[in-house]
Amino acid sequence: MAMQKVLIVFAHQSAGSFNAAAKDVTVEVLTAQGCKVEVSDLYAMKFKPSATADDVTGEVKDAEHFRYGEETMLAWKEGRLSADLVEEQRKIFDAHVVIFQFPMYWFTVPAIMKGWIDRVLTMGFAFTSEQRYSQGVFKEKKAMLSFTTGSQESMFSSNGINGDMNVTLWPLQNGILHYCGFQVLAPQIFWAPHHVSSEARSTMLEMWRTRLQGLLGETPLSFTPSDSFDCERGFLLKEDVEEMHKSADVGLTVGIHLGKRIPLNSQTKAGV
């Protein structure tokens, strides 16, 4: 297998954190496998999270009514994006796999990582109206979320107080990663490491180390293909596809459930 290039987008303030330890294990194991691993340490980089006109060099097209998506797409085409965005886009372009390592804040990624997503995954570079989802720009690349929670696993169950983790992950995995075309690997979830013993934390890291041995060969999560939707009907499911699933007990995915039961673990485990 040709050398794989891996980008880790890392968001934690402390080098002594569990997230930092997980990131270090990832670098160690994948490097030992012959991968070239690059890390974007967002806090150490003092990465600017806010998407503003400063992300475009030179004059903008419409200063009076600044439209970030349109302006950055034009700037990307003309080579006028700010230097920090150009560098992060270079890292993604080179990578075969992108791993996001972070502590879950308010059921999503930290603000600095959301800012990275907002600013780096610009229109044109990461997606277009024609190139998205299964036909996306990054359909030859893989991506995954690796994160810690503050709550124990039971709290993120279908009858837990936080709700089903599969539902929580849908906007991140479908609405960001899959939207840009990435093949999405099942997430690595470290359940409430702050609330367990040091021995339990060590066990978590060893389990991650074991998974990393075969990570690059894992089967991605399943999403409904783009060609299942009819653009003439407002991108609704094609009538024949919907008819095919009419008698099914469960929906296609967490978001495209057809009013049926949500498929179990479809956002947390591959092959379900």
Predicted pLDDT at 45:
97
For the segment 204-213, what is each residue's pLDDT rounded down to a tens digit? 999 999 999 9
pLDDT at residue number 100: 98
- Confidence at 26, pLDDT banded by 50, 70, 90: very high
Is 137 strand, coil or helix? coil
Domain parsing of the chain, residue ranges:
5-220
User: What pLDDT was estimated at residue 126?
Assistant: 98
pLDDT attached to residue 97? 98
Answer whether residue 272 shows pLDDT above 70. Answer: no
Segment among 15-29, 52-66, 67-81 with least mean pLDDT: 52-66
- What pLDDT does residue 62 have? 85
Q: Mark 181-202 as b/e (b = at least 16 C-beta within 10 Å).
A: bbbbbbbbbbbbbeeeeeeebe
Q: Which CATH superfamily does the domain covering 5-220 fall into?
A: Flavodoxin domain (3.40.50.360)
Q: How far apart are CA 87 and CA 100, in angstroms?
A: 17
CA-CA distance, 260 to 53, in Å (whole number)?
A: 44
From the list 239, 183, 188, the residue with the least C-alpha distance to 211 is 188
How does pLDDT run across 73-96, given as a tens digit for each residue? 999 999 999 999 999 999 999 999
Q: Mapping DSSP to helix (H, G, I), strand (E, B) and coil, where does residue 50 land? A: coil
Across the chain, what does the average pLDDT equal?
Answer: 95
Distance CA 202, CA 158 (A): 28
To 10 degrees, what angle do helices 198-214 and 18-32 make?
Answer: 30
Percent of the chain with pLDDT over 90: 94
Query: Which residues make Cβ contacts (< 8 Å) with residue 261, sequence separation at least 6?
Result: 249, 250, 251
Q: How does DSSP classify residue 80?
A: -
- Confidence band (pLDDT; 50, 70, 90) for 2? low
Provide the pLDDT for residue 162.
96
The tens digit of pLDDT for each residue in 166-210 reads 999 999 999 999 999 999 999 999 999 999 999 999 999 999 999
Handedness of CA 24, 25, 30, 33 (dihedral sign): positive
Q: State the Cα–Cα distance between residues 142 and 116, nearest whole angstrom.
A: 18
pLDDT of res. 64 = 86
Q: What is the pLDDT of residues 36-45, one digit of tens each?
A: 999 999 999 9
Give the predicted TM-score (pTM) of the model: 0.95
Beta pairing partners, 56: 81
